[in-house]
């Protein structure tokens, strides 16, 4: 009987070193018990399970991880981090991976999720606080999601929801700005 051909992977320890040094989180402690994946509520939307992300890092499969939807789909509920028997901050690793993509201006596999984070951060930088009334509209324009929502007509439902919320006194007409905007700007500049 012929043996199936297996793909060989060359291990690359550079990636795990980069993550462990950059985040201070010890991914090498993972022994693949899969407790993280078993408790994760969003595996149904992931292309790599959390335990696979840990293993891929150990093997140095940087590209595969950077292109995965998983890191963006992670809801940061911290169940994995809480339950890991080796105390690996798995949600923290997901954050570190997302931050690296942003820092290197890479492409996010879930570009709409990143678009939402970015307009949220822009709002903070601009005023010091988030103006919820403007957030959804800005997100739609920035992400291009309005095109999809126009096609499937869900944009009408969203507009109706917005109007109902406004009537119920849950949306403000004008944003609030803080006085210490210069302090916020300094924090943003420092992070660049």
Residues that bind another protein (CB under 8 A): 41-42, 44-45, 73, 75-79, 81-82, 89, 91, 95-96, 98-99, 102, 110, 112-118, 120-121, 123-124, 128-133, 135-136, 139, 143, 145, 157, 161, 164-165, 168-172, 176, 178-180, 183-184, 186-188, 190-191
Query: Nearest distance from residue 116's CB to another protein, in Å?
Result: 4
Closest CA to 57 of 44, 40, 46, 70: 70
Q: How far apart are CA 22 and CA 93, in angstroms?
A: 10
The single residue listed with the structure tokens 């507009």 is 159
Which residue's CB is nearer to another protein, number 15 or number 139?
Answer: 139
**Closer to another protein by Cβ: residue 37 or 81:** 81
Contact 30, 86 (CB under 8 A): yes
Measured at the alpha carbon of residue 189, what is the angle toward residues 115 and 111, in degrees to the nearest 5? 10
Measured from the CB atom, is 59 or 117 closer to another protein?
117
- Tell me how far, at minimum, the Cβ of 156 lies from another protein, in Å: 12
* Residue 45 DSSP code: G
- Residue 71 beta carbon to another protein: minimum distance, rounded to whole angstroms: 9
Please choose, from the candidates 149, 151, 129, the residue with its C-alpha nearest in 3D space to the C-alpha of residue 139: 149
Nearer of residues 57 and 80 to another protein, judged by Cβ: 80
Distance CA 180, CA 144 (A): 32
Given the complex with another protein, which of 57 and 74 has the nearer CB atom?
74
Structure tokens at 80: 């994995």
């Amino acid at each position: 009987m012929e043996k199936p051909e297996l793909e060989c992977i060359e291990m690359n320890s550079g990636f795990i070193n980069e993550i462990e040094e950059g985040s201070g989180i010890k991914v090498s402690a993972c022994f693949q018990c899969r407790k993280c994946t078993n408790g994760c509520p969003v595996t149904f939307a992931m292309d790599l399970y959390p335990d696979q992300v840990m293993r891929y890092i150990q093997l140095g499969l940087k590209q595969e991880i950077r292109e995965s939807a998983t890191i963006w789909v992670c809801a940061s509920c911290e169940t994995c981090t809480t339950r890991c028997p080796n105390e690996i901050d798995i949600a923290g690793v997901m954050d570190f991976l997302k931050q690296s993509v942003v820092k290197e201006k890479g492409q996010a596999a879930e570009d709409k999720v990143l678009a939402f984070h970015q307009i949220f951060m822009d709002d903070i930088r601009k005023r010091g606080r988030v103006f919820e009334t403007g957030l959804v509209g800005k997100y739609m324009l920035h992400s291009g999601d309005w095109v999809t929502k126009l096609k499937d007509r869900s944009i009408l439902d969203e507009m109706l929801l917005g109007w109902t919320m406004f009537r119920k006194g849950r949306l403000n007409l004008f944003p609030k700005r803080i006085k210490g905007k210069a302090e916020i700007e300094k924090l943003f500049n420092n992070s660049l």
